Amino acid sequence: MSGWTRLDAFLRTDPRDVGCDETLRVLEIYAELTAADPAEARSRFPGVAAHVASCGPCAQDLAGLLELIRAEQDAADGADDGGLPAAPR
Amino acid sequence: MPRDRANPAAAPARGGARRAAAEEPQRVTATRGGALDEASTTWLRTLAADGAERDAACARLHDLLRRAAHREVARRAGQLRTTGTELDDLALQAADDAMVSVLGKLGEFRGESRFTTWAYKFVVLEVSSKVARHRWHHDAPTVAETDWSALPDRLGLGPEAYAVQRDLVRAVRRAVEAELTERQRGVFVAAVLDGVPLDVLAIELGSTRGALYKSLFDSRRKIRERLVADGYLDTLVRHR
Ligand SMILES: [Zn+2]
């Protein structure tokens, strides 16, 4: 990718981008949908998908929530207590 | 939650109604059918109970939030210049604050996700803000000379011919100086050239993540429009 192409990708904004506040408002809904079916999440919340693609802090928060959802699912699948496993220490 | 693990068949069918709900999150509830999973129902019932039942539910919730906070802090430990007890303290503080938020906002839970996912969001956001404050405290942004030569690295440009990088930096700099307000310029320089994370910059400027993101969003658009007008990006426009 040439320098100008990369610059263009960085500067290009997505008009569907809903911003941080709206993204954080629906983050738990978007995260659960993403954990179940990422394509469905993107198609139902294109503005949130556009946002987390270019906002580092919101993408970080989404990644954290996704990891917790997956840890809970793993615990539910593998153990009967359904509890979130303790953080690795 | 949209996919009830206990009963996969309960997942709503895909179709027009769900597509129409795109971008209108307030309609998600209506399309979900409103049935809460059993675990979430139990959380709500026990947290709203009296006496020993509520105490036990609160203890269970705090334990869950504490473990979630430790896990999230561990995930983000690389962003912090600390280890050990300070990380534990940060996680515990985040869990305590998330607990207050969850109990205070129970009435706002709409059942659009599992209860625990909704509660974890408070943990993640508390950890996020505490990590930002920690980073700001230990590594506050400094006002320095604007270093435009950092731009190619910040954009992740590969080893380009010197002349290409020089032209690119010059064009962006001219657009920044001509098109952005002083405030937008300050945010752009700090976030893009100096690489200050938005959350950390928000603390420094007494602003919010959302406001700074919007500022950067507008700046990116204005700079790009200028570069298109100046003929730097026109071929790319035609390609797409
Ligand atoms: Zn954001």
Structural contact between residues B64 and A75, judged by C-beta atoms closer than 8 angstroms: no
Question: Chain A window 34-73: which residues touch B at a Cβ cutoff of 8 Å?
Answer: 36-37, 40, 43-47, 55-58, 60-61, 63-65, 67-69, 71-73
More confident of the two residues B4 and B208:
B208
Residues in A 12-31 with any Cβ partner in B closer than 8 A: 12-13, 16-22, 24-29, 31
Of B64, B121, B165, the CB nearest to A28: B121
- For chain A, the structural domain boundaries read 16-77
Residue-range domains of chain B with CATH: 3-138 (no CATH), 148-229 (1.10.10.10)
- Mean pLDDT of all residues in A32-38: 97
Between CA A31 and CA A72 the distance in angstroms is 13
Q: What is the mean pLDDT of chain B?
A: 84
CB pairs under 8 A between A and B: 167
Helices (H), chain A: 3-11, 19-25, 27-36, 38-44, 46-54, 56-78
For residue B13, the model assigns a pLDDT of: 35
How far apart CA B220 and CA A8 sit, in angstroms, is 10
Q: Cβ(B171)–Cβ(A3) under 8 Å?
A: no
Tell me how far CA of residue B109 lies from CA of A85, B68, B83, B103, in angstroms.
24, 19, 35, 10
Judged against a pLDDT cut of 70, whether residue B22 lies above it is answered with no
Model ipTM value: 0.88
Of B111 and B10, which is predicted with more confidence? B111
B78 versus B121: the higher-pLDDT residue is B121
Best residue in B42, B116, B124 to probe A by mutation, most A CBs within 10 Å?
B124
pLDDT digits (tens, 9 = 90+) for A1-10: 688 888 999 9
Kindly state the average pLDDT of the residues B95-119: 97
Please judge whether A32 and B25 are an interchain contact, meaning their C-beta atoms are less than 8 angstroms apart: no
Helix axes B198-205, B115-138, angle to 10 degrees: 60
Q: B165 CB contacts (<8 Å, ≥6 apart)?
A: A3, B152, B157
Confidence of residue A83 (pLDDT cuts 50, 70, 90): low
DSSP 8-state assignment for residue B33: T
* Phi, psi of B36, rounded to the nearest 5 degrees: -85, 145
Structure confidence at residue A79 as a pLDDT band (50, 70, 90): low
Average pLDDT over residues B76-100: 92
Instruction: Name which of B39-43, B73-77, B160-164, B178-182 the model is least confident about.
Output: B160-164
Mean pLDDT, to the nearest integer, of B175-191?
96
pLDDT for the residue numbered B192: 93
